[in-house]
Amino acid sequence: MVKLSVKEKFAFQFVMGEKIYQRWYARFLSFGIDYGRLKRVIGRITGWMQWCAEWTKEGDYLFQKAEEALREGSETKARALFHEATACYHIGQHIFFIDSQQKETSQEKARRSYKRAIGLYAEGERPIRIDIPFQGTQIPGYLRLADTPNRPLIIFVNGMDNIKEAEGHAQGSIFRQNGFNFFTFDGLGQGELWKSLKFDSKQYHIAVSAIIDWFESNQSYRIDMNRIALVGYSLGGYLAPMSAAYDRRVKCVVGNSGLIFIGGLDGLKKLNPIWQRGVTYMTGCETLEQAVNQFDWDIADAPSLQVPLLFYHVGNDEVMPSPEVHADKIMKWAKGEKTLKYYEDGEHCTQNYMDEVFPETIDWLNRKLV
């Protein structure tokens, strides 16, 4: 039985209701969940402790339906259902840091379902699995190749609870359709790499540079390595700009709703209780006191950013206190060309404005890279 603090019991009993779930709908829909299915599954959930189990059950149902479709010779239907099963598993593990066993089981099912889905793509469209050596293990990722050679490379930097098989795949489809090569990966403390390497804010940019090193030494994919951009959301909204500052091969960067500074242990304690659990999960620590050395930063301590930056932030961010302070701080830190898009009524990762943000991001990257 998961032991919750008094603060967590209050948050999960009284805050995690339909009003909160609605704030995630746009994000969930963006990576392939049908709206009717979304409403049906959430309708079965009466409390946060059921979240992962109910979504995993729905993923299992869709996975079996996909297998049946495949046996019947309906490959298009099977691929779609495998992708939707992957999305269900991802939603189940989404910020479900209160039970690591459930979370890891659901993630593993997402990885299995995703492999089944991409196995049904035509050779030229199939995401390419790439494992990049790093510190005695491998950074796992998927490459989506543009239709034409010598196009730019977008490296997508995950947030605290993203996985490459769901949101990474959905983003990759958009970028590939717009003529970009796209690499999505699980970094330190994230997704598949979590078992081997826990999160350490001081090491993350080294992993990003290792990815760029690998692509530079493997030219068979015919990618223009003089045109590289990083894109990151949520925690990735900090990690992407920070990593770009350390590696001058990155030509521009997009960040969205980044947590730009922590403020030590006091700062961690001001985070939403859900994300406090995320801090200890990602770092493999039992307490915030133990985790603070790995999960504490101030972007002002990184080298100043010299390349173009497009940064989004929102006033109605449930993840962090005082989001406008984070937006101001990154604008002061960036010394190159910079653009801030601040949505006063926006929600975390501008998820209630994604219809504007996605195409605007593509246009901006086209101007900077193409």
pLDDT in tens, the chain (370 residues): 467 777 776 666 655 566 667 778 888 998 889 999 999 999 999 888 899 999 999 999 999 999 999 999 999 999 999 999 999 999 999 999 989 999 999 999 999 999 999 999 999 899 999 999 999 999 999 999 999 999 999 999 999 988 999 999 999 999 999 999 999 999 999 999 999 999 999 999 999 999 999 999 999 999 999 999 999 999 999 999 999 999 999 999 999 999 999 999 999 999 988 889 999 999 999 999 999 999 999 999 999 999 999 999 999 988 888 999 999 999 999 999 999 999 999 999 999 999 999 999 999 999 999 8
Question: Cβ-count burial of 59 within 10 angstroms (0-12 exposed, 13-18 middle, 19+ buried)?
Answer: buried
- Which two structure tokens, joined as six digits, stand for 70? 């495949």
Query: What is the DSSP code string of 134-155?
Result: ETTEEEEEEEE--SSSSEEEEE
Q: Cα 358–54–115 angle (5° rounding)?
A: 60
Taking Cα atoms as reference points, which of 53, 30, 5 lies closest to residue 354?
30
Alpha-carbon gap, residue 37 to 32, rounded angstroms: 11
| pTM score, whole prediction | 0.96
Alpha-carbon gap, residue 296 to 201, rounded angstroms: 7
Q: How far is residue 211 from each of residues 1, 127, 155, 299, measured CA to CA in Å? A: 39, 17, 9, 22
